[in-house]
Amino acid sequence: MKTKSVSKLKKDFDKIYSVWIRSKNAHDGLNQCYTCGHVLEIKKLQCGHYWSRKHLGTRWDERNTKPQCISCNMYQEGNKPKFTLALIQEYGQGILDTLEIKAKSPAKYGKFELERLIKEYKLKVKE
């Protein structure tokens, strides 16, 4: 059996992680955009990132990733002003420094860890 590359495992984890973020705290298949408050079906939301996905240290940090509507995430490039205010309101002022340090710190995920995370989040989604 051929093993998946780290790149493919990251893509696989991105998919399941996105489902988790959009599903977490949802009710009856609906969730709220973190930045504008619109309530939409989970499948119409995206996994928005405060620090972009290129920053591996925060790519899958649940404080850095929130459900967002397409308008906020894509057309308003994450709606950073409202994202910032919402993060401070939820976690306190220190969250911005915490996420910045984590985003700018080196991070590396190997096959074993990505496979473990995929299994873990698949279970979370099923619950």
Q: Could you give the number of structural domains in the chain?
A: 1
**Residue 125, in any domain of the structure:** no
Burial of residue 43 (CB within 10 Å: 0-12, 13-18, 19+) is exposed
Asked if 31 contacts 67 with a C-beta cutoff of 8 angstroms, the reply is: yes
**Residue 97, in any domain of the structure:** yes
Whole-number Å distance between alpha carbons of 113 and 117: 6
Mean pLDDT along residues 26-52:
97
- If pLDDT is split at 50, 70 and 90, which confidence band does 1 have? low
**Residue 121, in any domain of the structure:** no
- The pTM for the full model equals 0.93
Query: Residues 47-66: pLDDT tens digits?
Result: 999 999 999 999 999 999 99
Mean pLDDT along residues 14-36:
97
**Residue 126, in any domain of the structure:** no
Full domain range(s) for residue 53:
6-27+43-114
**Residue 12, in any domain of the structure:** yes
**Residue 119, in any domain of the structure:** no
